[in-house]
C-alpha cells in the first residue's frame, strides 16, 4: 500500500511566511509528499508551482477563508486549479455566519454556490469544523444541518476530530 503524507502549512505559518522554499525543503527532507495550504504569503501561482515542483510536493488542499471565497469565487478556483490543488476547505465561520447566527442561511447559500463552481472546475469543496458546529439548532447539530442542506457532491467534510 502506498500511503502519502501531507503537512498542514498552518502549523509552520510563521516560518513559511518568511521562507516558503525553506519550509518545503524541510518537509521533503522529513518525508512529506504534499502540503495543505493556509494562505500563500503573497506568492503567485507560478511561484507556488515552482517551489512544489522543486521539492516534488503536491498541493493537496487549501484552507481559504470564507470572506476570501465570497470576495472572488472564480479567482479562488482559478488559483487553485493553476497549482493543481484538488480540494479547497472552508476553514472557519465567524460569529455572524456560523450555525445559529442570522448570517448562517446566507453562508450556506454562498458555500453551496461556491461548491457547485468548484465541482464544475474539478475541485472538491470541504468544510473544516470546530466546536461551535456542535451546538444544536432545532434539535440538530449545526454541522449536521449544514451537511443536510448542501449535497455531499457539493460539500464534503474535512473532519477535525480534536473537537
Residue 1 — very low, low, confident or very high, per pLDDT cuts 50/70/90?
Answer: confident
Residue (of 149, 133, 145, 38) closest to 93 by Cα position: 133
Q: What is the pLDDT of residues 58-100, one digit of tens each?
A: 999 999 999 999 999 999 999 999 999 999 999 999 999 999 8
Q: Note whether 77 and 117 are within 8 A (CB).
A: yes
21-59 tens-digit pLDDT: 999 999 999 999 999 999 999 999 999 999 999 999 999
Q: Each residue of 97-139: pLDDT tens digit? A: 999 899 999 999 999 999 999 999 999 999 999 988 888 888 9
**Alpha carbon of 15 to those of 18, 25, 41, 117: distances in Å?**
5, 12, 11, 33
Higher pLDDT, 161 or 24: 24
What's the whole-model pTM score?
0.93
- Report the distance separating Cα 104 and Cα 81, nearest Å: 28
Torsion angle (degrees, nearest 10) of CA 146, 38, 9, 22: 170
Which band of pLDDT confidence, cut at 50, 70 and 90, is reported for residue 159? confident
From residue 122, how far is each of 16, 54, 119 by CA, in Å?
27, 25, 5
Q: Give residue 15's pLDDT band: very low, low, confident or very high (50, 70, 90).
A: very high
Q: Which of 114, 116, 117 is nearest to 153 (CA)?
A: 116
Amino acid at each position: 500500500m502506498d500511503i502519502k503524507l501531507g503537512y498542514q502549512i498552518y502549523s509552520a505559518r510563521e516560518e513559511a511566511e518568511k521562507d516558503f522554499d525553506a519550509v518545503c525543503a524541510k518537509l521533503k527532507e522529513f518525508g512529506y509528499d504534499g502540503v495543505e495550504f493556509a494562505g500563500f504569503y503573497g506568492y503567485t501561482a507560478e511561484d507556488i508551482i515552482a517551489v512544489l515542483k522543486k521539492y516534488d510536493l503536491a498541493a493537496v488542499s487549501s484552507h481559504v477563508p470564507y470572506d476570501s471565497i465570497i470576495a472572488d469565487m472564480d479567482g479562488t478556483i482559478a488559483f487553485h486549479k493553476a497549482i493543481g490543488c484538488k480540494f479547497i476547505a472552508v476553514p472557519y465561520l465567524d460569529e455572524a455566519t456560523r450555525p445559529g447566527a442570522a448570517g448562517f442561511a446566507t453562508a450556506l447559500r454562498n458555500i453551496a454556490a461556491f461548491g457547485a463552481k468548484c465541482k464544475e472546475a474539478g475541485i472538491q469543496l470541504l468544510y473544516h469544523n470546530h466546536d461551535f458546529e456542535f451546538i444544536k439548532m432545532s434539535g440538530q447539530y449545526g454541522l449536521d444541518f449544514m451537511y443536510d442542506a448542501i449535497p455531499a457532491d457539493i460539500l464534503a467534510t474535512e473532519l477535525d476530530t480534536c473537537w
